[in-house]
Amino acid sequence: MAKKNIFYAQSGGVTAVINASACGVIETARKHKDKFGKIYAGRNGIIGALTEDLIDTGKDSASAIAALRYTPSGAFGSCRYKLKGLQENKAEYERLIEVFKAHDIGYFFYNGGGDSQDTAHKVSQIGQTLGYPIVAIGVPKTVDNDLPITDNCPGFGSVAKYVAVSIREAAFDVASMAKTSTKVFVLEVMGRHAGWIAAAGGLAAEKEGDAPHIILFPEVTFDETKFLAKVKHSVDNYGYCALVVSEGVKNAQGQFLAEAGTRDAFGHAQLGGVAPFIAQLIKDKLGYKYHWAVADYLQRAARHIASKTDVEQAYALGKAAVELALKGENAVMPIIIRKSNKPYKWTIGKTELSNVANVERKMPAEYISADGFGITEKCREYLSPLIQGEDYPKYKNGLPQYVTLKNVAVPKKLSATFTMK
* CA–CA gap between residue 69 and residue 63 (Å, rounded): 10
Measure the CA–CA gap between 149 and 166, rounded to whole angstroms: 29
> Around Cβ 88, how many Cβ atoms within 10 Å?
10
Answer whether 210's CB lies under 8 Å from 243's CB: no
Q: Is 144 part of the annotated catalytic residue set?
A: yes
Q: How far is Cα 80 from Cα 10, in angstroms, rounded to an integer? A: 10
Which of 74, 61, 8, 76 minimizes the C-alpha distance to 36? 8
C-alpha 267/C-alpha 114 separation (Å) is: 14
Q: How far apart, in whole angstroms, are the C-alpha atoms of residue 113 and residue 192?
A: 14
**Residue tagged active-site, from 115, 144, 151, 310:** 144
Q: Do the beta carbons of residue 217 and residue 372 sit within 8 Å?
A: yes
Q: Are 231 and 223 in contact (CB under 8 A)?
A: no
Is residue 96 within 8 A of residue 411, CB to CB? The reply is: no
Would residue 73 be called left, alpha or beta, if left means φ above 0 and alpha means ψ between -120 and 50 degrees?
Answer: left
The DSSP result for 355-368, as a single string, is GTTT--PPPPGGGB
Q: Strand pairing partners for 389?
A: none
180 contact partners, CB below 8 Å, separation of at least 6: none
Determine the straight-line distance between the first and last CA of the chain, rounded to whole angstroms: 37
Residues 6+ apart with CB under 8 A from 71: 19, 303, 393, 402, 403
**Mutual angle of helices 156-177 and 308-326, in 10-degree steps:** 170
How many other CB atoms sit within 10 Å of the CB of residue 376?
A: 17
- State the catalytic residues: 144
